[in-house]
Amino acid sequence: MRAEIWLHFWLKGAYAGPGVTVDNNPERVAKNQKVIYWTSDDDEFSQKIDAAIRPVERFFLKKVR
């Protein structure tokens, strides 16, 4: 997972210094997006992430509206 998150930001150019070419091959980007953003109601890990994020979202929802 750590590697996939790093790859996600690399493909967005976050770690690219001056003169560095970022490999933004559309197929590789699509595959990376699927890994990083995939969620499912049937997936235990997705449920845990949602449960952890929900209180934070509720807290900030009151502040940003």
Question: In the prediction, which pLDDT does 1 show?
Answer: 64
Q: Check whether 7 has a pLDDT greater than 80.
A: no
How confident is residue 4, by pLDDT bands cut at 50, 70 and 90? confident
Question: In the prediction, which pLDDT does 64 show?
Answer: 76
Angstrom distance (rounded) from CA 51 to CA 37 = 16
Q: What is the pLDDT of residues 20-63, one digit of tens each?
A: 777 778 887 788 777 777 778 888 888 888 888 889 888 888 88
Question: In the prediction, which pLDDT does 46 show?
Answer: 83
Max Cα–Cα distance, the chain, nearest Å: 43
- Give the range of the structural domain holding residue 36, as residue numbers without chain letter: 2-64
How many structural domains comprise the chain?
1
User: Tokens standing for 37?
Assistant: 């953003």
Strand ranges (DSSP E) for the chain? none
